Amino acid sequence: MSGETSFMHLVRPNVSAPAASAATGTANIKIHAPALFQILEIVSKQVLSAEKRIIGTLVGLRSDDGLELEIRDAFVVPCNETGDSITIEDSVHKTLFQLYKKAHPKEAVLGWFGSSNQIDNTTSLIHDFYSKGSDRAFPHAAIYLNVEYLTADNQITVPKLSTYIGAAVGKPAANTQIGWKTTTVNNSYIFTPIPNQVVNGSITEKIAFNILKEKSVNTPSTSLESDLSYLSKQLQVVDTNIDNILHYIESKGLETNHNSDKDIDLLRLLSNNLLNRPQQLSNSEELKNLFSAHNQDVIMIEYLTKAVKDQIELSARLTASADAEKKV
Partner 1 sequence: MASVIVVDTELKDSIKEYAQIIDAVNGNTEFSGSVVSDLGDGDAEIEHKSELITKITQVSTSSTLTKLSDREFEPAFYLLIHILSELSEKSSAELLDDENSYVIKLLLESNPEKQALVRDRKTVKSTSILSILTNIFNLIPEVSKTRIYLIKQILNIVKSSNIKFSIIENNLGNNLINWLTKSQANDTEIRSIFWDFIQLDSEFSLKSLTLIKSFTLNYELQSIQELYNLINFALSSKTVDVSFLITNNVAQSLQAHAQDSLVATFTKYVQGDLVTVPESFSNFKFINQKSRILSLAKFLSEKSQSNDHDSIIFKYDEIPTELAANSYEFETLLVNSIRANVIEGKLNQLESTFYLSRVNRFILAGGNNHQVNANNWNEVKQALYEWKNSLANINEIVKATRENIFNNGSA
Residue 208 CB neighbours (<10 A): 12
Least distance from partner 1 to the Cβ atom of residue 278, Å:
5
Nearer to partner 1, 57 or 163 (CB): 163
Amino acid at 220: P
Least distance from partner 1 to the Cβ atom of residue 161, Å:
10
Least distance from partner 1 to the Cβ atom of residue 71, Å:
18
Nearest-angstrom CA–CA distance, 167 and 119: 14
Nearest-angstrom CA–CA distance, 126 and 88: 8
What is the sign, positive or negative, of the torsion defined by CA atoms of 141, 142, 145, 146? negative
Nearer to partner 1, 58 or 59 (CB): 58
Nearer to partner 1, 30 or 72 (CB): 30
Least distance from partner 1 to the Cβ atom of residue 61, Å:
21
Nearer to partner 1, 28 or 97 (CB): 28
Q: Under a CB-based contact definition with an 8 Å cutoff, are residues 173 and 186 in contact?
A: yes
E strands, 142-242, where?
143-150, 156-168, 175-178, 181-184, 189-194, 196-199
Least distance from partner 1 to the Cβ atom of residue 228, Å:
5
Phi, psi of 114 (to 5 degrees): -160, 180
Least distance from partner 1 to the Cβ atom of residue 288, Å:
14
Residue 76 host element (H or E): strand 68-77
Q: Coil, strand or helix: which one is 248?
A: helix
